[in-house]
Amino acid sequence: MKVLFISRDDLGVEELALSLRLRWPGLLPLHATKGPAVKSALSKEEPDLLMVCGNVPGLDPWSAIDHIRRLHDTPILVCTNTSGEMEVVKAVEAGADEFIRMPLQSPGRRGRG
């Protein structure tokens, strides 16, 4: 199973990919950090799942989801650390199949307000 992680950087994505690979050893994580790389990976790799994890330079996440949805029927999972309900609404209206909040934080920042 190929999973394309769409994210600005590897922060949190590596942890998420590792936890998924522990559960599903055959999982192949792919990563795109810029708009053109996302489009290239979609056409070349034909991923089984897209995970949109935050903003990507040159690619508004909501426009990206809308664009991807018009071209592909690949399931889209939006991951974010925001608590706003409007983010959920935007993601679903754009065409996301699921939305999850990621509580991933660096160990040094836990418990600090």
Identify whether 88 is part of a domain.
yes
pLDDT in tens, 29-75: 888 887 788 888 888 988 999 988 876 667 777 777 887 888 888 89
Domain count, the chain: 1
Judged by DSSP in three states, 91 sits in helix
Q: Is residue 113 part of a domain?
A: no
Give the pLDDT score at 10: 64
Confirm whether 38 is domain-assigned: yes
Structural domain that includes position 87: 2-104
CATH number for the domain that contains residue 62: 3.40.50.2300
Is 109 within the bounds of a domain? no
- Residue pair 9/33 in contact (Cβ under 8 Å)? The answer is yes
69 inside domain: yes
Let me know if residue 110 belongs to a domain: no
Q: What is the DSSP string of 29-42?
A: EEEE-SHHHHHHHH
**Greatest distance between any 2 Cα atoms in the chain:** 43
50/61 Cα distance (integer angstroms): 12
Predicted structure pTM score: 0.74
Residue 47 placed within a domain: yes
pLDDT tens sequence across 24-39: 888 888 888 877 888 8
- Work out the pLDDT band at 97, boundaries 50, 70, 90: very high
Residue 65 lies in a domain: yes
